[in-house]
Amino acid sequence: MTAIAQGRTRRATRMTALCALAVTGLAALTGCGGDEDPDAGTNGVGKLPPARIQAKTRAAADAAPTVRLSGTVVTSGRTYTLDMRLKDDGGTGSVTSQGATFRLLRVGQELYLKADADFWDHTDGSDGATGKLDGKYVKVPQGDPAYKKFSGFTDKDVLLDGLLTLHGTLAADGHHTDGSGTRTIRITGDKGSGGTLDVSLQGTPYPLRLVRAGHAGTLRFSDWGENFTVTEPPASETVDYGKQLPTS
């Protein structure tokens, strides 16, 4: 090969290498942002109109056999802090209100309430009742006003019906990431004044976080579909209150 031919070959090789570097650099820049599709690799609900997103996430929530719900609910001027695991035939967890914490357990239609002496002192004011009920499961009669008030906290369908609703005109509010790193699409009612709901973009489009309208609380939903059991407490840990339970 002549010197001229060798020079041409070297120049061609350098041009090929430079072109390859340029293409690689352009691909890297494109991958760092730019026109990247925010819905790439997701379940696709982020591309839907807000009303369809709400319908999809509600259907997913209704179909799930279980869920864990935690956060705050403000109703009738009172704030309740919840940490409940719910399923179609029962639920269990804790509720805190006005500094008093109690546990709820529902198995089928049977509802039990368990609290310490501070709770019963606050609601009952009877030293005799406090000693009898402290740390025990109290079976709540279905005809007692307390049953209607507290059983709703253990009822998956009742809670989701009352909570998973945005008010006003629906709109999308961009792509986000929740505390666990799950990618979400956020929808709002009346630009947020009617509530906001973050919906999972990974796997099933479950609701993950709800900010209720009117500063009525913030809730997180997790453990969708993770099975757990609820069983009636042993007789040795259960007492009969003997009169109408306090609901204050």
Residue 27 located in a structural domain: no
Residue 196 belongs to domain spanning: 45-239
Residue 31 located in a structural domain: no
Mean pLDDT of 166-187: 95
The burial of 204, by beta-carbon neighbours within 10 Å (0-12 exposed, 13-18 middle, 19 or more buried), is given as middle
CB atoms under 10 Å from CB of 213, counted, come to 19
Mean pLDDT of 213-228: 95
- With beta carbons less than 8 A apart as the criterion, state whether 120 and 137 touch: no
- CA dist 182 to 43, 172, 185, 239, Å? 12, 18, 10, 44
Widest CA span in the chain: 111
In the structure, what pLDDT confidence band is assigned to residue 240 with cuts at 50, 70 and 90? confident
Over 70: is that where the pLDDT of 32 sits? no
Give the pLDDT of residue 31.
Answer: 43
Over 80: is that where the pLDDT of 194 sits? yes
Give the pLDDT of residue 119.
Answer: 73
Residue 40 located in a structural domain: no
Total domains in the chain come to: 1
Residue 87 located in a structural domain: yes
In the structure, what pLDDT confidence band is assigned to residue 19 with cuts at 50, 70 and 90? very low
Residue 19 located in a structural domain: no
Over 70: is that where the pLDDT of 66 sits? yes
Residue 80 located in a structural domain: yes
What CATH number did the domain enclosing 59 receive?
2.50.20.20
Give CA–CA dist 231/229, Å, rounded: 7
Higher pLDDT, 196 or 123: 196
Residue 10 located in a structural domain: no
**Model confidence over 121-159: pLDDT tens digits?**
655 555 555 557 777 899 998 888 889 888 999 999 999
Residue 16 located in a structural domain: no
Q: What is the mean pLDDT of the chain?
A: 84
Give CA–CA dist 231/240, Å, rounded: 18
Amino acid (one-letter) located at 50: P
